[in-house]
Structure 1
C-alpha cells in the first residue's frame, strides 16, 4: 500500500502517494483524475524494484491550488516535476504521464532532458509545436464548442462540472459517446446504463470525494494556458525529445481522433523504444487495462 505525505515544492505543498525503493518513477495523472488513477500500477512497479511516486498535481486533490490562471503554465507544471525529483533526493527519474500528465511528461523530457531517464506518454502523443496557437487550431477544426475552447471562460465550465460531481465523473469515465453531441465537455457523453467494468462504486466515490474537496478550477486552468504555453515554448520549436521514450494508447481512445502519433510526432522522439496499442481500451488507459499498461511499463523500465 502506498504511503501518503505532503512535500513543499517552492511555492506549493504537493500531496504524493509513494511506495517502494529503487530508481524513481513518477506517475502523472490527467484530467479529471488524481494520484488514484495509478492505483493498479503502484504496487507492481514498487514490487519490481522502483521508488514509485504518484502526486496530485498542481490544482488537484489536496495539493495546493494557486489562484492565478497564469500559475498553471507548462513551466509551472514542469517546474513542479523538477522540484519533486530534487525534493525526493534524486537527480533523475522516469516520468510517466497519462492525458495532461503525458503533456507534462513530454515537456519535462523536452525542457530538462538531463533529469529524465525515460519518458512514457499514455493517450496523448508528443506534439510538435505548430504554426498557430492551439485554441485557434481547435476552433478551426472542431468549432467554438470544442471542449478545450469551452473551458476558457473562467466560471462557466466550473458551474457545469461542479453542479453534480458524481454525475460529471460518471459521464466522463463511462465515456459513452453522445450521437448528437452538444457544446462543452459533458455534451460529448450520453448517460451510461451502468458504470464501466473497470470502475467500482468505491473507486468512483474516491474521485468524487477528491473533486468535492478541490473543485475543478485548478485542472481547468491548465487548459486556460494552452495558448500561453505555445508562446512560452517558442524557443524549443522543432527541438527533439531525446530521452528514451514509449507511447501507449488505447485503440478506442477518442484522443486519437485529434492528436495522432503520426510521422510528425515520431520525428521529435528519435529515441522512441516502442508504440503500444492496447486493444479494447478507451481513454482511461491505465485504469481500463491495468495489466497491459503495467506490463508495457515494466518492459520499458527493464530496457533502460
Structure 2
C-alpha cells in the first residue's frame, strides 16, 4: 500500500515550519536550497517513502510557507541547523539522516558537524562540504580583486529583492530554466542585475513543467525573496560562528552528488572543494558526478539521484521495508 503524503505546520526552534512528509521508518530530513522550496523534493519524497523511510521536507526558514523572521541576524547557520534539530524532536524522533541540496547542503553538512548525536549520516547535493578558510569569505573575495560575485550583490538589503520581485514569473523561469551551467552566471555584470538579459520566452527544460514552475511562482509571489537572501547576508557571520570547528572532519557516513555541468562545482570555489572533500569527509561512501547534469540535480536527474540516495540509506539506516 502506498504511503499517504501530507503537509502541515510543525513548531520547531521557536518558529513555524511548513513541512511535507510521507512514509514510515527511519527519519530522513530533506533540506532545499535557494531559490527553492520543499516542493523541489517532489520526486524524492515518494520514492524514499516507498523504500521504507519516514521522509520530511520542510520549507526552510524564510521560504514558502515557513516563518520568515525580519531580523537578518536570525538566519545564521546556528539558527537554521537549530531548526532541523528542533524539527527532529518535534516529530518525536531522536535521530535522522539529513540530506541537503544547494544552500540545504551546507545546512546538512553543518548539522552533521554540530550534532553527530542527532544526525547519523549526511548527503550533500551540488555544494561540497565546508572548508572554513582563514578569513571571512567576503573579505577574501575583495582581497582577490573580485567585486561582482553574486554573494556580494546579495548583501545590500532591498537590491536583489527589487530585481527578483519586479516580475516573479520571469525571475523563477530564468533561475530554474537557466540554472548555473555557465560559471559566468555567478558574476553580476554592472547595471545588469543577477538575471542579466532575461528572456520571458526561455523554454523550460524537460524536467520542469509549466505546472511545476507555477507552483514556485505562486509561492514566491506570496513570500517574496528576502528570507532566502538573508541566508547570504550571514556568510561572514557564519565564518565567525564556526571558528570552534576549524578543520574539524565530519565523521558520519557521507554521500555527495552533483552534475558535471553545475558551475557551483566547476567554478571559482567549488572545483577545489570537490577534489579535496575526503579531507573533510573521511567516511565518504560515494562521490557521484552525473555527466551532463546541471545544478537542480534532484529534479533534473530524479531517477539517478533516488537510486543513489536509497542505496546510501539502505547502508546507513536500513529500514524494515
TM-score calculated relative to the size of structure 2: 0.91
Extract unaligned runs of 5+ from structure 1. Answer: none
**Deviation at residue 194 of structure 1 after TM alignment:** 0.8
Q: 1:12-51 alignment to 2 at 5 Å?
A: 12-51=15-54
- The question of whether the paired residues in 2 share the 8 Å contact of 1:181 and 1:188 is answered with no
2:319 paired residue number: none
**Deviation at residue 10 of structure 1 after TM alignment:** 2.9
Pair 1:130 & 2:133 matched:
yes
Pair 1:273 & 2:278 matched:
no
Would the alpha carbon gap of residues 250 and 269 (structure 1) be closer, same or farther in structure 2, given more than 3 Å must change?
same
- The question of whether the paired residues in 1 share the 8 Å contact of 2:177 and 2:202 is answered with no
**Deviation at residue 136 of structure 1 after TM alignment:** 2.0
1:290 paired residue number: 302
1:239 paired residue number: 248
2:78 paired residue number: 75
Cα RMSD after superposing both structures = 1.8
Would the alpha carbon gap of residues 20 and 151 (structure 1) be closer, same or farther in structure 2, given more than 3 Å must change?
same
Deviations 1:39-77 (A, max 9, x none): 001111000000000000000011000010000000000
Mapped partners of 1:137, 1:247: distance in 2:
26
1:193 paired residue number: 202
SS in 2 for 1:160: helix
Pair 1:302 & 2:314 matched:
yes
Deviates more, 1:131-140 or 1:282-291: 131-140
- The question of whether the paired residues in 1 share the 8 Å contact of 2:17 and 2:59 is answered with yes
Mapped partners of 2:144, 2:20: distance in 1:
39
Would the alpha carbon gap of residues 200 and 301 (structure 1) be closer, same or farther in structure 2, given more than 3 Å must change?
same
- The question of whether the paired residues in 2 share the 8 Å contact of 1:171 and 1:192 is answered with no
Would the alpha carbon gap of residues 81 and 132 (structure 1) be closer, same or farther in structure 2, given more than 3 Å must change?
same
1:205 paired residue number: 214
Mapped partners of 1:141, 1:204: distance in 2:
37
Mapped partners of 2:5, 2:290: distance in 1:
26
1:227 paired residue number: 236
Deviates more, 1:140-149 or 1:153-162: 140-149
1:104 paired residue number: 107
SS in 1 for 2:117: helix
Mapped partners of 1:77, 1:167: distance in 2:
29
**Deviation at residue 280 of structure 1 after TM alignment:** 1.6
Extract unaligned runs of 5+ from structure 2. Answer: 317-321
Q: 1:153-192 alignment to 2 at 5 Å?
A: 153-175=156-178, 177=182, 182-183=189-190, 184-187=193-196
- The question of whether the paired residues in 2 share the 8 Å contact of 1:281 and 1:289 is answered with yes
Deviations 1:215-247 (A, max 9, x none): 100000000000000000001101111111000
Mapped partners of 1:181, 1:147: distance in 2:
6
SS in 1 for 2:261: coil
2:87 paired residue number: 84
